[in-house]
Structure 1
Amino acid sequence: MQYRTVPKNGDSLSALGFGAMRLPTRRGHVDEERATRLIRTAIDQGVNYLDTAFSYHGGESEKILGRILKDGYREKVKLATKLPPWNVHTREDMDKVLSIQLKRLQTENIDYYLLHSLNAASWKKFTDLGVFEFLESARDAGLITNIGFSFHGDRKTFREIIDAYDWTFCQIQYNFLDEENQAGKEGLLYAASKNVAVMVMEPLRGGSLAGKIPKEARNHYERSGRPWSAAAWGLSYVWNHPEVTVVLSGMNDEAHLAENIAICEMATPGFLSGKDIGVINDVRDSFLQKMKIGCTGCSYCMPCPFGVNIPMCFYYYNQYHMLEEKIMTRGFYSLQLMGGMGSPAHASLCRECGRCVSNCPQNIDIPKELKNVSKTMDGWQTKLVFMVAKRMFGTNVKDE
């Protein structure tokens, strides 16, 4: 395992961190047995930084981690979780949330504590409510150790936040498609210049930079001569930056865990050649030419009061435009979102209430984009594919 040092406290953290936002699920619930096996295997192989949050998996993520980290595993890791602005309305709420988190996680101390999903509005809300007094009081009481924040705003706000406090660390979205989005590369370099450790989330943009990628992008990778997967390319790009301390990956599959550990061991700072960077630049261009909606699948827009599964709608819409298997994409869209495998959750259910818009870290005009998704994906073509798919899968489609 590769380790990198946090400048302000000297902690040696695994360059690969385990993100607990997308734990393996079964029948709509976290598969705790499999999650336990995955996370403990990761720790046994050297991963020592685990990241969760108050709201992940509807509040279950923290509880499950608390159980997973029994039997001596808690002592082997640095544990990170977050204070959510949407659950905090008074100074007292901060203490209440932290108390709940400590109980859920079955620990007396949280090693790395973040203000969650800061942007200009949530930053102002926290500061108006006296968040620094809370953080320092909790630290003095030994309830938390290191203070940081995660970020989903603009670069101007990011600089303002970095300069406002003596942060130990921050967490930003960064990958080869997001060099100019949110904090971006400018923010990465600025934080590092202040000796603030940078934890990177969405290194593969919710998986859209790995797996089934555009044919043009795949061709660029194949011509490179490197026998790497798309995931290896994407993760290597982030680890190539010496300013990055930890890369968080939501590893919900044993094969993903094994591959990510192998990539981490080789992808040290400056590992990529100039030719490699050129390949990634070409791949970036291929994605940007085809991707319609910059959704990472973070699910902060959920739940929708009308039942729309917004991230999945955007995922299949992007897949439809980026990939060549359009009939297959319609089939999966219909089965998963038009009632084939549960309650209907397709785009045309949107009633444009706008509740989702303010929660979107990517500032997507969600109702407008859902109209586009509905126009493309909810028509007679998809309904026809749905009928065929139901016939192919028989009467047990909902149990698949």
Structure 2
Amino acid sequence: MQYRKNKKNGDEISALGFGAMRLPTKNGRIDKEKAKEQIYYAIDQGVNFIDTAYPYHGGASESFLGEILQNEYREKVKLCTKMPSWSIKKYEDMEKFLETQLDKLQTDYIDYYLIHSLGKGSFQRLKDLGVLEFLEKAKQDGKINNIGFSFHDNGDAFKDIVDAYPWDACLIQYNYLDEKTQAGTEGVKYAHSQGISVFIMEPLKGGILADVPEEAQKIWDNAPVQRSPADWALRWVLNHPEVTCVISGMGELDQVKENIQVAEETLPGSLSEDELKLYDEVKQVYHELMKINCTSCGYCMPCPRGVDIPTCFEIYNHKYMFKTRGTSFTYLTRLGGVFSGNESHAGLCNGCGKCVRACPQKLEIPTLLNDVSKELGGVGFSYRVKIGKAILVPLFDAFISISSRFSRRSGNNSVRKE
């Protein structure tokens, strides 16, 4: 594994970090055995930075990590979690959340403690509540080792926050589509110039850079060196000498293995000029096709009206990025509740704005949901949902019944042959 140094404290951090926001799930909950296998494998291969936060997996991520990161595995990693800034109303809340997180993580100290989702307004509010004094005291008491923040705002706000305190680390959204988004390249370089370790989130932009449009895939296919789109995306971030560690949310063991190999191979400045030109071509494809700049982070959820906002945007983007046929049907069956019985389509939005306040990308979500509803739902959507339930569900049940009987017969025949 390649390691990069935190200049402030000398920590040798693996170039790849394991993000615990998108752990594998089963029946809506963390698939503990599968997730443990992946995290242990990563640690055994040299990954030594694990990132989580209070709200990840509905609050279960920290507790899960507390269960599995014991003894030698706890000693092998730098554990990072975050103060839920939006829930802090008074100084005492900071104490309450930190103690709760220490208990959930089953540890006496947190290696890197970040203020979560910081922006200009939230930082000023937290400063007035004494957040910097609280973090200093927690560090003196040995409850946290390093102080930092994760960021979602514009470049000017980022520089102001960087200048306000001698931070140990920052966590920034960064990938080859987001060079000028939020902190961007300028912010990455500025933080590094101030001696702050730069950790990167969303290197694959919520998976958008791993499952690429056909036009983009053709560009990668014509490259002199054959790599997967995910490999190309991760390699672009690691190519920057200012980056300390790239946090990747990995849900499959094969993803862990691929990302580890990329992190081992990609030294700063190792991409050639010809390779960098390919990224420009791929970026142009995305800019022409992608309608909504959503990373599927889920901060907008749950919606009070039950709208599955990330999936609405995912289906909408897929229609344009992949020229997918049948997206209206997919929208009807998945979000109209045809099979599940639970409607979660864009038309349920009443414009309350809760999602807008939570969105790291600052998207005007109600307006965009209205676009999705008009294009994928359209007039008579509720009627089509009723028709779908009346026709498709019985057909699907009949198909499953026939398939099940066929499978049993095939199974019996194979037993007889043996």
Aligned position for 2:406: none
Q: 1:190: how far off?
A: 0.2
Aligned position for 2:35: 35
Aligned position for 1:253: 252
Relative distance call for 1:392 and 1:2 in structure 2 (3 A) is farther
Q: Distance in 1 between matches of 2:380 and 2:268?
A: 48
Instruction: Give the 5 Å matches for 1:131-280.
Output: 131-211=131-211, 213-280=212-279
Q: 1:136: how far off?
A: 0.6
Aligned position for 2:299: 300
Aligned position for 1:394: 397
The letter for the 1-side match of 2:348 is: L
Q: 1:325: how far off?
A: 2.3
Q: Distance in 2 between matches of 1:12 and 1:389?
A: 56
Aligned position for 2:405: none
Q: Distance in 1 between matches of 2:363 and 2:350?
A: 16
Q: 1:335: how far off?
A: 3.5
Q: Distance in 1 between matches of 2:276 and 2:346?
A: 37
SS of corresponding position for 1:307: coil
Q: Deviations over 1:154-211 (max 9, x none)?
A: 1111000101111111000000110111000000000011111100000010000112
Quick check: 1:331–1:386 contact (8 Å CA) kept in 2? no
The letter for the 1-side match of 2:235 is: S
Q: Distance in 1 between matches of 2:131 and 2:398?
A: 54
Quick check: 2:120–2:161 contact (8 Å CA) kept in 1? no
Q: 1:30: how far off?
A: 1.2
Aligned position for 1:281: 280
Aligned position for 1:337: 335
Instruction: Give the 5 Å matches for 1:376-391.
Output: 376-379=375-378, 383=384, 390=393
Relative distance call for 1:179 and 1:90 in structure 2 (3 A) is same
1:317 aligns with 2:316: yes
Q: Distance in 2 between matches of 1:257 and 1:306?
A: 36
Relative distance call for 1:173 and 1:386 in structure 2 (3 A) is farther
Q: Deviations over 1:313-360 (max 9, x none)?
A: 111111111002222x44443333221346211111111111111111
SS of corresponding position for 2:72: coil
Q: Distance in 2 between matches of 1:316 and 1:121?
A: 32
Quick check: 1:168–1:197 contact (8 Å CA) kept in 2? yes
Quick check: 2:308–2:345 contact (8 Å CA) kept in 1? yes
What residue ranges of structure 2 are gaps of 5+ in the alignment? 401-418
Relative distance call for 1:35 and 1:330 in structure 2 (3 A) is farther
Q: Distance in 2 between matches of 1:349 and 1:386?
A: 18
Larger radius of gyration: 2
Relative distance call for 1:3 and 1:291 in structure 2 (3 A) is same
The letter for the 1-side match of 2:332 is: S
Quick check: 2:331–2:377 contact (8 Å CA) kept in 1? no
The letter for the 2-side match of 1:338 is: G
Q: Deviations over 1:129-152 (max 9, x none)?
A: 000110010000000000000000
Relative distance call for 1:218 and 1:47 in structure 2 (3 A) is same
The letter for the 1-side match of 2:278 is: V
Relative distance call for 1:136 and 1:192 in structure 2 (3 A) is same
SS of corresponding position for 1:356: helix
Q: 1:77: how far off?
A: 0.2
Quick check: 1:336–1:342 contact (8 Å CA) kept in 2? no
Relative distance call for 1:389 and 1:181 in structure 2 (3 A) is farther
The letter for the 2-side match of 1:87 is: S
Q: Deviations over 1:21-45 (max 9, x none)?
A: 1111111111111111111111111
The letter for the 1-side match of 2:105 is: L
Q: Distance in 2 between matches of 1:158 and 1:136?
A: 21
Q: 1:261: how far off?
A: 0.8
The range that moved more, 39-48 or 336-345, is 336-345
Relative distance call for 1:391 and 1:235 in structure 2 (3 A) is farther
Quick check: 1:17–1:248 contact (8 Å CA) kept in 2? yes
Q: Deviations over 1:38-71 (max 9, x none)?
A: 1111111111000000111111010001011125
Quick check: 2:170–2:197 contact (8 Å CA) kept in 1? yes
Q: Distance in 2 between matches of 1:297 and 1:45?
A: 28
Aligned position for 1:122: 122
**Sequence identity percentage:** 50
Q: Deviations over 1:296-319 (max 9, x none)?
A: 111111110000011111111111
What residue ranges of structure 1 are gaps of 5+ in the alignment? none
The letter for the 2-side match of 1:43 is: I
Quick check: 1:53–1:61 contact (8 Å CA) kept in 2? yes
The letter for the 2-side match of 1:287 is: Y
Quick check: 1:331–1:389 contact (8 Å CA) kept in 2? no
State TM-score, norm by structure 1: 0.95
**Structure 1 residue runs of 4+, over 4 Å off?**
380-393
Aligned position for 2:55: 55
Q: 1:395: how far off?
A: 6.5
Relative distance call for 1:131 and 1:68 in structure 2 (3 A) is same
Q: 1:72: how far off?
A: 2.4
Q: Distance in 2 between matches of 1:108 and 1:78?
A: 13
State TM-score, norm by structure 2: 0.91
Relative distance call for 1:164 and 1:389 in structure 2 (3 A) is farther
Quick check: 2:328–2:377 contact (8 Å CA) kept in 1? no
Aligned position for 2:347: 348
